[in-house]
Chain A
Amino acid sequence: QVSLSGLKPLPEKVKIVEVGPRDGLQNEKTIVPADVKIRLIDMLSEAGLPVIEATSFVSPKWVPQMADQEEVMRGIHRKPGVSYPVLTPNLKGYRAAVKAGAMEVAIFGAASELFSKRNINCSVEESLQRFEEVMSAAREEKVPVRGYVSCVLGCPYEGSVSPSRVAEVAQRLYSMGCYEVSLGDTVGMGTPGGMAAMLEAVMREVPVHALAVHCHDTYGQALANILVALQNGVSVVDASVAGLGGCPYAQGASGNVATEDVVYMLHGLSIHTGVDLPKLMDAGSYICRSLNRRTSSKVAQASCKL
């Protein structure tokens, strides 16, 4: 493996967690019918992605895009070896998810109090307590739970967020039983120095194999931030096909990093992902046509015309 400038060698393998069908579509204005979501997920399964976040069991009155959650869960072809986690903000959502066939769930904490209050209407502590309920039930039923921490490199309301605060929340989620904690740069304002400092703090509390990064590309920093995370031993990266999902805090700005661009970088670094890039790009073109929007992936923009 390439060891960049004397730092630890890069991981040989990186697991990509594809969040397009959930995080991506959730932040797209155009509502997409269930059959299109199902087709997208099936295409992503064929592209070799090992984890595809399928939908969200939040109340449809908050997130209308995810109102067809049950239909989607029932309609997808589950490829053996691929997991299809779903978001469950509380026990009620968890129960509905399991009933609909979910075999893995995800919960979302925040490193910023203001963000927690404005986003889910309660404090960080209150949200962690709700999650304890979900964790209990999941533990009994042997359903793995993934934890997310929002605002790890800054908050749209609070501004800068201390790495120690991020570490605290990550540690809580991990010790509660989350098998993995995904650290999200929710507004994309982070830069590589901030990423390194934040990871340094978090890695004192949570082992690196249980960490993932979820970078937004709102300021164009995502790939550089992901690269630094890899240099620090992180080997799980969240991304969204075609860069679906704009930024809710900066109208018209981009949001999620594009899976195609991440895979291009990883393969260029000889890192194994198991992903078939041309098939991934097919999935990206498909969903962009359905949404009637241009891809946010630069690889996709470049490749279709050369």
Chain B
Amino acid sequence: MGHSCFPDFVKIVEVGPRDGLQNEKEMVPTEIKIQLIDMLSQTGLSVIEATSFVSSKWVVQMADHNEVLTGINKSPHVRYPVLTPNIQGFQAAVEAGAAEVAVFGSASETFSRKNINCSVEESMQRFEQVICAARQACIPVRGYVSCALGCPYEGQVHPAQVAKRLHELGCYEVSLGDTTGMGTAGSMAAMLRAVMAEVPIHALAVHCHDTYGQALANILTALQMGVSVVDSSVAGLGGCPYAEGASGNVSTEDVVYMLHGLGIQTGVDLAKVIEAGDFICRALKRPTNSKVSQATSRSQPSFNMCE
């Protein structure tokens, strides 16, 4: 009574080094990025988004993409996808040793134009090129849909068709992003019902932002509906570009705490993630956004947080 069936295992996709750092004001030197990724590689995380092959004139933080990808100590148990917005980015990524890539679609026309300067359809065409080339090179592609639970410009949007397109084009997984964090459990459930009519659930992930504090409740809802892949960012790195000073990505530590508390396996060692989070926060000279990290660094009695 009162429970729904949760997945036994949830795969966490760690986006801190890319999505997190990309949205941090402080420029992080290459060796720090490498050390962060190396620490994360030891935590049991199986997917760590390493960097982005966008033009450095747009995203300065990711200008060192080559050095990062070639400099990290790649664990055999971890995959290191990188963002590739177009075919040039894809080719550069492959040259630098990328074995998995990701493309970013949007459920909102206005967001697409403002964010990547083209319509949703135009972006799909670019991605098709990337996915074709990736297929030839046997490189898996992950798709993202931004603004899945609402757009900062358009308000409510309809991500199901975009998700379907990405999946049909060949993305093995589609991550549905609540880009502004404005979604709640109700809109998450409604959105997933619509998307699940077009894309099989095992191919779906949720990428929740915690800007309005709703992320864990939204993730819980997604889990109750059968989603078993969750994106998160160590220490909750990455503020919200649409609400200055507000938080952005949900913290990996807080997600893992909830999942382990639910008896869901992740393979992740929470204590090691907290350490990686502390490391990057010291380097960024900012406090962590993770509540679990804030609580455990100062609590007097120590709780057993093991899986």
Query: CB-CB contacts of B237-256 with A at 8 A, as 1s and 0s?
Result: 00010111111000100100
- Please state if A224 and B258 are interface contacts (CB–CB under 8 Å): yes
If A219-B254, A220-B254, A302-B181 touch, whether A154 touches B303 (CB-CB below 8 Å) is yes
Q: Report Cα–Cα, A254/B242, bound state, in Å.
A: 25
Contact of B300 among A156, A193, A269 (CB under 8 A): A156
The reply on B4 being an interface residue by CB < 8 A is yes
- Please state if B225 and A268 are interface contacts (CB–CB under 8 Å): no
The reply on A192 being an interface residue by CB < 8 A is yes
Binds B, one of A3-11, A99-107, A282-290: A3-11
User: Nearest Cβ distance between residue A242 and chain B, in whole angstroms?
Assistant: 12
Contact of A218 among B152, B181, B291 (CB under 8 A): B291
Contact size range, B = 35 or more
- Please state if B185 and A4 are interface contacts (CB–CB under 8 Å): yes
- Please state if A268 and B257 are interface contacts (CB–CB under 8 Å): no
Q: Report Cα–Cα, A266/B298, bound state, in Å.
A: 31
Binds B, one of A40-48, A50-58, A85-93, A245-253: A245-253
Q: Which of A199, A218, A267 has the most B CB atoms < 10 Å from its CB? A: A218
- Please state if A299 and B212 are interface contacts (CB–CB under 8 Å): yes
The reply on B119 being an interface residue by CB < 8 A is no
**Which residues from chain B contact A5 at a C-beta distance below 8 Å?**
4, 189, 221, 224-225
Contact of B295 among A6, A157, A218, A258 (CB under 8 A): A218
The reply on A221 being an interface residue by CB < 8 A is yes
The reply on B211 being an interface residue by CB < 8 A is yes
**Which residues from chain A contact B214 at a C-beta distance below 8 Å?**
223, 261, 264-265, 268
> Total contacts A to B, CB within 8 angstroms?
163
- Please state if A219 and B243 are interface contacts (CB–CB under 8 Å): no
- Please state if B258 and A258 are interface contacts (CB–CB under 8 Å): no
The reply on A227 being an interface residue by CB < 8 A is yes
Q: Report Cα–Cα, A264/B296, bound state, in Å.
A: 28
- Please state if A298 and B304 are interface contacts (CB–CB under 8 Å): no
Q: Report Cα–Cα, A269/B220, bound state, in Å.
A: 14
The reply on A190 being an interface residue by CB < 8 A is yes
If A220-B292, A268-B185 touch, whether A227 touches B217 (CB-CB below 8 Å) is yes
Contact of A253 among B243, B258, B291 (CB under 8 A): B291
- Please state if A305 and B243 are interface contacts (CB–CB under 8 Å): yes
Q: Which of B187, B225, B261 has the most A CB atoms < 10 Å from its CB? A: B261
**Nearest chain-A residue to B246 (Cβ)?**
A302
Query: CB-CB contacts of B1-32 with A at 8 A, as 1s and 0s?
Result: 11110000000000000000000000000000
If A5-B224, A220-B254, A253-B299 touch, whether A298 touches B291 (CB-CB below 8 Å) is no
Contact of A250 among B210, B213, B295 (CB under 8 A): B295
The reply on A60 being an interface residue by CB < 8 A is no
Q: Report Cα–Cα, A301/B181, bound state, in Å.
A: 12
**Which residues from chain B contact A226 at a C-beta distance below 8 Å?**
217
23 intermolecular pairs with C-beta atoms under 8 Å apart? A5-B224, A189-B303, A191-B257, A192-B262, A193-B3, A193-B262, A219-B257, A220-B216, A220-B254, A220-B290, A220-B291, A221-B257, A223-B216, A224-B220, A227-B220, A228-B2, A228-B220, A231-B2, A253-B291, A265-B217, A269-B184, A297-B213, A302-B212
A interface residues, Cβ below 8 angstroms from B = 2, 4-7, 154, 156-157, 159, 188-194, 196, 199-200, 217-221, 223-224, 226-228, 231-232, 247, 249-254, 258, 261, 264-265, 267-270, 297-299, 301-303, 305-306
In the complex, besides A159-B304, A191-B262, 19 extra interface pairs with C-beta distance below 8 angstroms are A4-B185, A156-B300, A191-B261, A193-B262, A219-B257, A219-B295, A220-B254, A220-B290, A223-B216, A231-B2, A232-B2, A247-B295, A250-B294, A250-B296, A264-B213, A268-B214, A301-B243, A301-B245, A306-B246
> What are the nearest 10 A-B pairs in CB distance?
A191-B261, A268-B184, A298-B213, A220-B291, A250-B299, A261-B213, A220-B254, A302-B246, A253-B295, A223-B217
